[in-house]
Amino acid sequence: MAVRPAQDDRIQEPPEVQWAGKYIRIVKRGGWEYVERCSGMSAVVILAETDGKIILIEQSRVPLGGRTCLELPAGLVGDEDDKGVEETAVKELEEETGYTAERIERLGFFYSSPGMVAEGFDLVRAHGVRPCGTPTEFGIETHLVERDKVAEFVEQRRAAGVAIDVKLLLLLASSIL
């Protein structure tokens, strides 16, 4: 088996910002073009369950042409305040779903599409999840799905034309493998 170099030589070239907005920038390094978050922002993705039901959300996504997308609750860390991962996870869970958590457990840091995007996210599990009021973010529908019916629910939403976020593979792995 051939041994590959530990690092790509193109990494030695300095990154050149091609375009920058408020939240993202396009960077060129060697022959690669990719997207990264501005100002050290990252994301948090929340795995939350209440009474044996997984909390999923569905919302319109502009990059998908306005198509709705089925997802786990999530949000940006560091976009509006100095809150850390755990505090942001609770805040986003409350805003998007109307549920809160007593405790947040960090499960690891992951990259969403490393061939094109430098963005990563902390995956967290919410413990002690309970209703706390009405969601405050506009246009998000909350779904409570029994754990053993997630694969069936995802297929129903896909058949209805809803896009499916890749992070839902976390919940579908046992039915796929």
Q: Considering the domain boundaries, does residue 36 fall inside one?
A: no
Tens of pLDDT, residues 143-171 = 999 999 999 999 999 999 999 999 999 99
Q: What is the CATH number of the domain that holds 114?
A: 3.90.79.10
Tens of pLDDT, residues 106-146 = 999 999 899 899 999 999 999 999 999 888 888 999 999 99
Q: Which domain holds residue 137?
A: 42-176
**pLDDT grade, residue 40 (50/70/90)?**
confident
Q: Considering the domain boundaries, does residue 112 fall inside one?
A: yes
Q: Considering the domain boundaries, does residue 23 fall inside one?
A: no
Of the chain, the percentage scoring pLDDT greater than 90 comes to 73
The count of structural domains within the chain is 1
Q: Which two tokens stand for residue 18?
A: 């091609």
Q: Considering the domain boundaries, does residue 3 fall inside one?
A: no
Contact 39, 115 (CB under 8 A): no
